[in-house]
Structure formats: structure tokens, C-alpha cells
Structure 1
């Protein structure tokens, strides 16, 4: 999938953005190039807002590369332009290091990757009228207009969360413009996208003329739609394999088969929403490359595990999204500290359903408010299946890629990933396993130039890094203790990214 584009055009790249041209920075620039600066000072003062890229070296940190499990104490990471030049241990020749940045006591990892987001959704209360219709409070067309006008804000919140790459697994055709915008913006994650979801069911309330979900009724329609999508060079094709009493597994299976065959003919991989065991099994048997959710209806069996391994299928658990609708509607949402600090405040404020007039509440929300315990019981029932399933798949060697389904109601763009980490920990994954899921494994959803150069902290990879104040291997909670984010070689002090 070589069509994934390289991020951030050169003219936009300021080596140390958000920096004032003051006397301290001038003095810092004039010092000997082998002078070491503390990390907090360097981001604020070094290299007066110049467009000229410099070689810099991060010196003295512990480097964690989850892809191979290596931990390198007192290491040096040399960044040249937008790439990692080398990672070394021991004393280095100062003449080869450029500007040195002291990172003693810090921990450096590849930038995180969220493999399941939706930019056409804001995460606020009004973003899915097909699930809870609040059009009488906020018309959906106004919601979409707000989303389009706040894309740069969303991009920045991903960077603040240390997330330097994301995969949008489905949305309207304007999704492709989001990819173009993000990949030409410095303070934005690298973005891969799918177009509209090929679906077994319709969602008319989301259709404003450019629907994010398209009901396909025949294999020929599926092939034609894939050919239309292929013109936009999607990174993935997404199937929404919804199963219920009116839409059994086998009824949509010929369309799944046709979609996958046509996509593969265009050298495009296919991601499938399939949350039931038999639906997921059918999708993989037909050639699906990615399952974008956990199986939540029953325990996965050994045959299913073997099938995923034999086919090299990637699975994205998206554990956090399974709690957020129920908790929001029953007024029991407990956002993490990271979400409260780094999530969009307008989005967060909207999630208090008690502020909506009673006569404007959808019945689904009224029912949840009337019986909040039932909502929590359903969430527990889901996790009683999903968490052990994740543990079994991880232990069996299935490739797990961290993803949140951000943009759905209550699943906050950016920092929701840290709640996902908590739930993965509850499933029994170690910090190193979780970090691998969010870096090297997640990179496998990208292809071509991008996929080969993200998710790892190695020579030749993009300089997409997160620098932590505390060790995430001691406690995965420390993965959000972010000091600095580096995207495409551009250095951002974490607290300066979102104001």
C-alpha cells in the first residue's frame, strides 16, 4: 500500500515551534554545538524558530523499543531532519551529534499509534444520531460542520497524547481530504484512511449527501463500490458486518467475499467490523486482513485463534468504546485524568445527559437513566468475554494492534488511548506487550513507506517519538507522563501543544 503519503511538507516544518525570539534563545543558539541543554530548556529556547532542520541528539535517556523488546539505558538517539539516524550506547563522538539535548532520567519510545479512529465523529453527544437522535437539540448538519471546522484541534490533541499516527477506519468521502490535510500539517498525526463503510445495514440519519456508511445489497454492487473507492487510493476498505435476526451471518457473506476479492485485486487490504465469533470467523475465512474489534459474544476457540495466526490477521480490541455509550447515557461516565485535561472541553461538556431537557432525550437514554445498574451490568458482561479473549489471542501470538474507536460518543480523540491501555492491563497484558500493540504492531496497519518507518525506534525510521518522565514498564499509567513529543523531527514540549 505504497500510496500512504509521507507527512508534513518541508516548508511547514519548524524544528522547535511555539518559540519566542528572545535573548535567551539567541544566546543558546550561539553556544558551542556540543553543549548539552536540559530537555525542558531546549524545547523552549533552542534554535530560534528556524525553518532550517538541524541534527539533534537526545542523550542519556533509557530507550524502549517495544518492537524487539530491547531496553537501552543511557542511550543516545540521533535525529537528522525527519529521520532517526542512529540509536547508540556509550560515549559518542561529539562532532557527530549536532545539538545535544540532555534526557537523563527520561524514557524515549516510538510515538504511539491509534489504529481505530473516526474523524467524522467528534465523540460528543450529538455525533451518532443513528444511535441516539439529538437532532432536536443540535441538528446533525451543524454537528458535521463543527467537526470539519475543528480538525486541526483534533490533530493537536492526538499529538499532545503522544500519538503520532492514526488509522481512520471509515467515514464519508471527505475522509480523504482529512488525510490530505493531516499529512500536510506539522502538528498532526500521520493519517491512513478508509472511505465509506460497506454495510449490511443502512444508517439514513448519517446521510447528508456524503454518507459514512453505505448499504450494499449485491456482490456486483460491492465490486463497483470498491472500484469507486480505489480511485481515492484508500489505505483500507472497511466492511461493517452487522449481524442480527434480520441480517444473519450467511446472508451478507457473498458481499463480504466480493468486497475482499475486489479490494485485493486493487492491492488494498480489508478491515472488518465483526464483534461476534461466527461473524469474525466468516470474515477471516473470506480473506479479511484486519478485525477492528474484539469478539464480545463468546469465548474464542482454538480453531479461531489458529485461523487468525495462519492468515496473519491483525486484531484491534477497541475495549474502551464498549463502555462509553452505556456510561454516557446512564450518566456514569468517568473520564480519565488525561481525557479531562487533553480532550476537547466542548465535547466533554456535551456528554452530561442530565443537561438535556427530558422531552428531548431519546428513549434509549431515558431507559439508561432509569436503570443505570443495567448499563453497568451490560458493560461488565461484555468485558467478561472481551478481556479473556484478548489475553488468549495475545498469548497465542496473534498480532494485536491498539485502537480505541475514538470519535464515538464518549470515546475522546487522543487521550482515550490511555483508558484502552488500562483495560488491556486488566486483560492481563504486560506493559511491554501493551506498548508493542501501540507501536510496532500498530504500524502494520500502515503500508508502504509509512508502515516501514513508524512504530519502531531504529535507524531509518521517522523521528516520531514520545519522551516520558517516568518508566512505563514499571506501570503502564506512566505511558501518559509525557514530557515531549517529536513528530517528523519537530520537537514539541507537551504542555505547549494544546492551550
Structure 2
């Protein structure tokens, strides 16, 4: 992947590799991209012969040929025969997690080989590798909906980094769980919600740090006392002007979250069909729904690789996956004798078929019902979990959502406008409109015919800076 800016006075391309311009700042530049079929992300009809002007990182004009006056200093790009959409948003990911079990010792403990404190420190110190993976995959904004408190700091760091997507981050999660193997003495991912005071103080602290959202991970709806603690914390979230995020996988949990004003549900309701009460509550709240269809299957694929049954299938023709992650997944079979991988479990893994077994039908049905009811849906992968890799997993998630009966045209909106709105940045990006950031992708194939055509990515623009995807291009 090559990061480059255009120097207009010389009329030439100056290539800057990601590794050699760690502190480079983008040149002020103006682009005029013409001739492409443009989808602006709003759901409006595509512009078949478009022009878009981006000056100093912002969209100055967009419309049909002739609608925009091309500045004299603009670098003109003929995109005839190509397609443009806004940059995509992965509305559910985790910078704290690696895509393998070294980042989730609760799922399989490999801390003898990969001590978790070392893994956590590396994650904190090296976010750029994931920035690169996301941009390479056409993703110009990400929402980290749960992790160490340092992830909140990435919001400002990424905003000022010309080689990074926009970041929103929630930080540590409130949960009934007393702790987890991925907590550290000096920093926790999970905060045990054990009193009203704990909830209020956690909300106040994370909001003061600048968190975008406060997430509740699992909700114990069987305990009236715990539900009271959640409600008190939710009221504090409203006072702080923040938003409630909920990991709620049952209808009962999801309804309780909606009763308390949840603005983002980050997983499918997967136990029963959603009912009319759920739909009305979600619409009244203005809640966004993220189905995360592929993450459970990702775990199974990671376990299969660790058991030396078959490698994790990876479709990465542009080389978007970072080197360390590649090393992890290609050496997964070293754990084939791990005690977690019992013979009974291995038999289950051998019979698991990705196409046939993911996800459960109820998740597909609920997604379609929720979308058809008018509730905004976002695209989020839960990347960082074992088998769900940063960046490239968005294509699998989009294809799974299309299989659920969502049209490609609607998926474009879900992956752009809706995602940006869910991370409270809809005024800044997510659609190709005047005044917003110049965040867009250029495709060789029509994404409105088949969402798999999002894979035909040739270029990404982030904050007005153009990236050519694939080192061979």
C-alpha cells in the first residue's frame, strides 16, 4: 500500500511509504475526480457521470459534470468507468485485540507463548499497523466499542494523523463479570458494575476522558438490583451527554437496554424473533443496530487453524493484513495439542462448515425485519476477536448481510452514512457532501449490483489524501 500526495506545481506524483513518513504531514492539495458513477452514501440515486472536488481535505463541490468549476491548481483524475462511494465505517472493532487467541486468553490460554501483558503493551504501542489495514480495506472510520482506556486517546491521535482512519472509542466496559484474563493490574477492559456508585463514577471518568459511548457488556436481567445499577448509570450517561452502547444478545436484554436509552446495539438479537415492542422502542430511541454476523464463525475458524485442521481462510489480494497478524495465523497449528482442543471439540470443528453454519437463521431474519422497519443498521465486524481480522473482515460481513436479504444499495448506506452517525460523526463524514472530509473509495466494479464488488478497491482517499491500494499497482 502506498501513501501519496500530489504536488501540483511540479505536476508529478510523490510516493511516501507508510513506514518512511512516520511524522509526515500531507501537503495542501486539490483533486478533481471526474467521470465515475458516484454513490454519495445518502441513498440518493447514483450520479452516472460525476465530478467531485476535494480541496485541503474537504469536499468543495460534488455533482454532475458541469456542476463544479475545476480549480486551476487541481490535479485532475479521470475515473471514467469506475465507481465512487464514501469511505466505509467499521462500527464495531477492538484495537486491544489481535485477531487471534493471544489477545483473548479467556477463549484459549496461550500466555506461555504470548504473555498477555506483552501482547497488551504491543497493541498500545503499535496502532498504526491497524490504521494501515483499515485504510487498505477502504475503511476511513472505525468505532472501538470496548477496550483499555488508552484506546480513547486514539481518537485525537488518529484525527491528526494523515495515515489513519477517524476513530471513536468507548474504553472499558461495565459488566456483571468480576474480571477477565485480559484485564491488567494497571488497566482494565472490564469494570465490574457492583453498585450504583461504581456505575456513576465510571461514567463520569470515561466521559471526562472523552469516550464516545459507554458500553454495557452483557446485562444480568435476572437481578433487579443489577438492573437498577444499570439504570442509574444510564441516567448518568444522559447527564454527561454521552451515549449508551449495549452488548445484548437476547430480546430481553435488548429491550432492557432500549428502555434505558441505548443508542447502539452492537450484536444481533439471536434467541428469538424481535417483536413490535422492540421495533417501536428502537425507533423512538433513534437506536442503531449492528448485527455482527461473522464473528462467531471467526472463532470456529481460528480454533480449526489452531487444531491444525485447516488454516484460517484469508482473502487479502492487496496485502492489507499486517505482518504480525499474518505470522500469528500462519503458525496457529503450533497449538494443536493445547488442552482446550479436546478430541470431542476437534470433532465439532471438523464438521463445522463456514458457509452452512454461520450465522444462525434467526440473526438473518431479525436483521431483515429490523431494516425493513426503518431502524438504521450499521456494518461492524467485531474485528480483533479470533478469526475476525482487522480491515479485511468488513467484506465478509457485508457479504453475510447481503445473504440475509439486504440489497447492495442499502448496504452502501449502512457501511458509510449510518456508521458515521453511530460514532457521532455524521456531520463530518459518511456521505459525499460539501464541507465534509474528503473520505472516499474508488472501485473498479459496481457495488450496487453486488456488494462483493467492494473488494474491487483501487484507491482510498482519507482526509483529502489519496492512497493507492496494493503495492503492485
Q: Deviations over 1:317-359 (max 9, x none)?
A: 1111121112221345653413883222432442368623455
Map 1:136-175 → 2, pairs under 5 A: 136-175=112-151
Distance 1:257 1:51, change over 3 A: closer
What residue in structure 2 maps to residue 322 of structure 1? 296
Within the candidate set 455, 458, 468, 1:480 is matched to: 455
What residue in structure 1 maps to residue 204 of structure 2? 227
Report the 3-state secondary structure (helix = DSSP H, G, I; strand = E; otherwise coil) of the residue aligned with 1:87. strand
| Corresponding position: 1:436 with 2:410 | no
Conservation of the 8 A alpha-carbon contact between 2:318 and 2:470? no
TM superposition score normalised by structure 1 = 0.85
What residue in structure 2 maps to residue 335 of structure 1? 313
Q: Deviations over 1:39-97 (max 9, x none)?
A: xx96869xxx9954122210111111231332001111011111101112133545567
What residue in structure 2 maps to residue 297 of structure 1? 271
2:121 & 2:71 partners in 1: Cα distance?
52
Conservation of the 8 A alpha-carbon contact between 2:124 and 2:150? no
What residue in structure 1 maps to residue 75 of structure 2? 99
1:123 & 1:199 partners in 2: Cα distance?
22
Q: Alpha carbon RMSD of aligned pairs, Å?
A: 2.7
TM superposition score normalised by structure 2 = 0.90
2:3 & 2:46 partners in 1: Cα distance?
30
Report the 3-state secondary structure (helix = DSSP H, G, I; strand = E; otherwise coil) of the residue aligned with 1:399. coil
Map 1:172-251 → 2, pairs under 5 A: 172-208=148-184, 209-243=186-220, 248=222, 250=224
Within the candidate set 464, 468, 471, 1:493 is matched to: 468
2:77 & 2:203 partners in 1: Cα distance?
49
Map 1:124-139 → 2, pairs under 5 A: 124-139=100-115
Q: How many residues align?
A: 459
Report the 3-state secondary structure (helix = DSSP H, G, I; strand = E; otherwise coil) of the residue aligned with 1:126. helix
Conservation of the 8 A alpha-carbon contact between 1:339 and 1:415? no
When you count helix as a share of all residues, which structure comes out higher? Answer: 1
| Corresponding position: 1:110 with 2:86 | yes
Q: Which runs of 5+ in 1 are unaligned?
A: 1-15, 20-24, 32-40
What residue in structure 2 maps to residue 274 of structure 1? 248
1:491 & 1:265 partners in 2: Cα distance?
40
Report the 3-state secondary structure (helix = DSSP H, G, I; strand = E; otherwise coil) of the residue aligned with 1:341. coil
What residue in structure 1 maps to residue 54 of structure 2? 79
Conservation of the 8 A alpha-carbon contact between 2:417 and 2:429? yes
Within the candidate set 99, 102, 107, 1:123 is matched to: 99
Report the 3-state secondary structure (helix = DSSP H, G, I; strand = E; otherwise coil) of the residue aligned with 2:181. helix
Distance 1:81 1:94, change over 3 A: closer
Q: Which runs of 5+ in 2 are unaligned?
A: 17-23
How far does residue 287 in structure 1 lie from its aligned partner after superposition? Answer: 1.5
How far does residue 178 in structure 1 lie from its aligned partner after superposition? Answer: 2.5
Distance 1:437 1:333, change over 3 A: farther
Distance 1:354 1:99, change over 3 A: closer
How far does residue 148 in structure 1 lie from its aligned partner after superposition? Answer: 2.6
| Corresponding position: 1:420 with 2:397 | yes
Q: Deviations over 1:408-467 (max 9, x none)?
A: 1111001110000010011000101111111111111232xx331211011111101111
Distance 1:44 1:140, change over 3 A: closer
Q: Deviations over 1:284-322 (max 9, x none)?
A: 112111111111112212221222112211111111112
